[in-house]
Structure 1
Amino acid sequence: MKAVYATDLSAASEAAIENETCLECLGRIGVEELHLVTVVPDNVHAGTPGIDHVKRRRRALDRYQEVIEGAGLGVETHVVRGTPHRRINGIAESVGADLSIVSSRGKSPLENRLIGSTTRNLARTTVVPLLVNRIERGVDDPALVEKHLFERTLYATDFSENADRAFEAFSYLRHATQEATLVHVQTETSPGPDGDADPGQRLAELADRLEEWDVDATTDVRRGDPVDEILAVEAEYEPTTTLLGSRGRSRLRRLLLGSVSESVIANADGNVLLVPPERTV
Structure 2
Amino acid sequence: MILQTITPTTHDLGQFEVRRALPKKERTMVGPFIFVDEFGPAQLDIGTAMDVRPHPHINLATVTWLFAGEYGGAIDHRDSLGTFSTIRPGQVNLMTAGKGIVHSERSPAEERATGPKLYGMQTWLALPDGREEIDPAFEAVADLPVIEDTCAKSIVIMGQLWGKRAATTTYAETIYAEIVLAPTGSMPIEAEADERAVMLVGGEASLDGTPLGLYELTVLAPGHAMTLSSERGGRIMLLGGEAFTTKRHAWWNFVSSDKDRIRQASEDWKAGRFPKVPGDEKEFIPLPEGRPKTVTD
Relative to its length, the structure with more helix (as a share) is: 1
TM-score (norm 2): 0.26
Relative to its length, the structure with more strand (as a share) is: 2
TM-score (norm 1): 0.27
